[in-house]
Structure 1
Amino acid sequence: MNNFTYIRVTSLLDAVNQAVTDPNSTFIAGGTNLVDRLKVFLDQPSQIIDISRLQMQGIDTMADGSLRLGALVSNTAVADNTDIRRNYPLLARAILSGASQQIRNMATVGGNLLQRTRCPYYYDTAFPCNKRQLGTGCPAITGINRNHAILGASEDCVAVHPSDMCVALTALDAVVEVSSPQGQRQIPFTEFHRLPGNTPQQDTNLEQGELITAVILPPLSWAKSGVYLKIRDRASYSFALISVAAAISIKGEQIQATCLALGGVAHKPWRATAAEEFLVGKSADVATFTEAAEIALQPAQPLTHNGYKVELAKRAIIRALIVSAQGGGVV
Structure 2
Amino acid sequence: MTIRVWGYLEEYEQDREEILAAVDAVFRSGQLVLGPNVEGFEQEFAAYHAVRRCVSVDNGTNAIVLALRALGVGPGDEVVTVANTAAPTVVAIDAVGATPVFVDVDDRHYLMDATRVEEAVTERTRCVVPVHLYGQCVDMSAVMDVARRRGLVVVEDVAQAHGARRDGVVAGSSGDAAAFSFYPTKVLGAYGDGGAVLTDSDDTAARLSRLRYYGMEDRYYVTETPGHNSRLDEVQAAILRLKLGRLDDYVRARRQVAERYAAGLADTGLVLPATAPGNEHVYYLYVVRHPERDAIMAQLAERGISLNISYPWPIHTMTGFAHLGYGEGSLPVTERVAHEIFSLPMYPSLAVDDQQRVIDALREVLAGLGG
TM-score (norm 2): 0.27
Kindly indicate which of the two structures has a greater share of residues assigned to strand.
1
Q: Which has the larger radius of gyration?
A: 2
Q: Using CA pairs below 8 Å that are at least 6 residues apart, which structure has the higher relative contact order?
A: 2
State TM-score, norm by structure 1: 0.30
- Which is richer in helix? 2
